[in-house]
Chain A
Amino acid sequence: METNTALDPLVLAAYKRAVREFAGPLKGFSARVLGPDAEWAEDVSQDALLALYRHLHQIPEHSWKPWLYRVARNLCLDRLRRRKHRPRNFRDIRDDDSPEIAPPTSWTQRPDIRLQDKETQEALEKAIQELSPKFREVYLLCERQELSYEQAASVLKIPLKTVSTRLFRARKKLIKAMQPYLGDHPHR
């Protein structure tokens, strides 16, 4: 069923809340899964939320979050698969002139702190991109998107223990890549 003519107002309100809550994180997750094709991330986020709207009567509210991530992952993988067969005639602009992935937290910060934060952010994004897809997905879902191990296992359709192992390995790899920045971190 693709129509929602008589939606419960409470469900609709919950859906609107979910859009506000998940649109950004879904975009972030998709951007990091898509890698060089991150410009599609917002479309993926919107497609996932549209799919949720069309299936509101089928998905219980407590399952929306993992369901959305599963759909977003499917869409991302579909994009990546199609990209393999797509001729790339144009230079990837993003490589040369990469925009900030997210706006800085505040412009009231001191410029040197802002610069340091920006460098750290870029290094972290680079380190995440350098993880192999299977580690990256688990790391993004569990650490960045704050899904439980069980939810991540259901999204990726892998055993629970595999989630735990991959997460630990991903963290270790990131620690190795981010060592200089961890040393300077103010919380240490």
Chain B
Amino acid sequence: MTNGNHKHTESSSKNPATLSCRETQALISESLDHRLQSSLDRGLRKHIFSCPPCRKVYQDLLALQALVKGQPEDQVSPDFMEVLERRIASGEGTPTAALDSPIPLARKLKLFSSGMATAAALLLSAWLVLDEITPPPIKPENAPIFVQPGNQKMAMTPGKIFSSRVSDNNSNIGDINRRSFFQDSPMSQKVFQGTMNSINNEKLSADAEGFPSIPYSRSRRLTPLSKTSAKTTSSPGLQPENLEKFRRHFQPHTTPLGETPFARTQFPGDMDLVDPSLFALGLFKGTLKSLEDLKANTQRFKHFPPHKAIQEILKSAQEARDCTSLLLKLDRRLLDLNPANGTWLKKVHHQLQKVTELGTTIQSDGKGVRDSLQKIQLLLKDIQTKDALKSRVTIRLKFESNLRDSLLGTGMPPPSLQRVLKVISRASDGDPETPSSSFFLFGGSGELRIFVLHGKQK
């Protein structure tokens, strides 16, 4: 939740190309908290990937973070609120120690010694001055008059210093939760290994249920950013309106993504096990599947009453449009689709928009249902998925932007995002190649978390 205005403070001056192991290890901690500039973060990760000792530190820190996140939340007693309300109603005041920050002993000694030094200096100067101005013969009864001011100073000086220390300045502190938006996507050992393997094996193929395999290549993990993406902020999720939106929408401990083959309690880490490339591939496959479903539905509901058919088709079209929309929004932010796929996607998205527009006009006036249905069917006929299935999908991940931030940064409404994740979940279910079998999106303690569970259910 690091506030963007405050991050990148001291470490930003370091040159990522010349990082030593010692510097790297010191920076890993900051990197986990998303406090590094993207260029430095990329340099750091390059070093981590190529240096086993630093990688070990990185993995240890990730594992520790996951362990801490997995600990149960602290609870108060059931009557806590009741007692608090009673205390408020009784007019009980603020405990005195609450606002009075204690001074460490070392500082006390320092203050005391500085006070004593001031007093001694004053006494000395007073003595010297008095020594000069005082006439040699002095009556004993007049002596206190000259001594008194010096004594007062000695008594007051430390007091003044001590009283000025309690000023408490807590203003202008942002309260955006750092972890809720900037927590990295910690990779498990498995994902990490998978990533390393995929760097070595450039080509991966994935076969969705009932789908021909999509040639899928993954560009090197540490690709330089394209010019346009380099200009975008590294953390698009840092938008308070998004935070509020998600907080409102996601209630604690809900799992809106339908069937969950894994019980959440088996994964107490509350961590993101997200490999963005798998997510991107899943999203692409999910989009294709939703388009196929949409076309199938158009055929299936041919003999249905037009109203019913329109309803069902629109439902599928909306799902497919959410997928294309997210894919387009993530393109160049998190991933780079190859130009051919990008053009195709834009065309399909345009068609789907037309379909949903037609649907909404029918719903509003209820006229010309048959004509509109025919138009929708014609529009959907134009959507070709065969070429896309055969074409090569290149997913180029950008390191400075993690999946969660990217998803939040798209500004998609949560229901749409949920629909898309359901589609991905459906598409990857039973997929022998893709290790991620289920995607989950829910807000434990009001945060957006994305879970990709690897491996099959036993």
Contact = CB atoms under 8 A, between A and B. Distances in A.
Interface of A: 2-3, 19-20, 23-25, 27-28, 31, 42, 45-51, 53-55, 59-67, 70-71, 74-75, 77-78, 81, 101-106, 108-109, 113, 117, 120-121, 124, 142-144, 146-151, 154, 157, 160-161, 164-165, 167-168, 171, 174-175, 178-179, 181-182, 185-188
Given A121-B71, A161-B10, A187-B63, A63 B95 contact: no
Contact of B63 (A3, A103, A185): A185
Interface string B25-38: 01001100101000
Contacts of A50: 84, 87-88, 92, 94-95
Contacts of B263: 108
A63 B175 contact: yes
B228 interface: no
18 contacts: A23-B81, A47-B95, A50-B84, A51-B95, A54-B93, A59-B170, A62-B174, A109-B265, A124-B67, A142-B33, A148-B176, A160-B10, A167-B33, A168-B30, A182-B67, A186-B267, A187-B63, A187-B273
Contacts of B175: 61-66, 151
Given A63-B175, A154-B173, A23 B80 contact: yes
Interface stretch (B40-48, B99-107, B338-346): B99-107
B75 A24 contact: yes
Q: Interface residues of B: mostly helix, strand, loop or mixed?
A: loop
B144 interface: no
B292 to A, nearest CB: 35
B68 A55 contact: no
B177 interface: yes
Q: Interface residues of A: mostly helix, strand, loop or mixed?
A: helix
Interface string B367-380: 00000000000000
Nearest to B30: A164
A185 to B, nearest CB: 5
A19 B75 CA distance: 12
Given A108-B263, A147-B178, A181 B67 contact: yes
Given A63-B171, A71-B98, A102 B71 contact: yes
Contacts of B178: 146-148
Interface in B384-413: none
B1 interface: yes
A78 B74 contact: no
Nearest to B63: A182
Query: Which of A42, A101, A142, A151 counts the most B-chain CB atoms under 10 A from its CB?
Result: A151
A103 B75 contact: yes
Nearest to A29: B74
A186 B238 CA distance: 30
A132 to B, nearest CB: 13
B260 to A, nearest CB: 14
Contacts of B84: 19, 46, 49-50
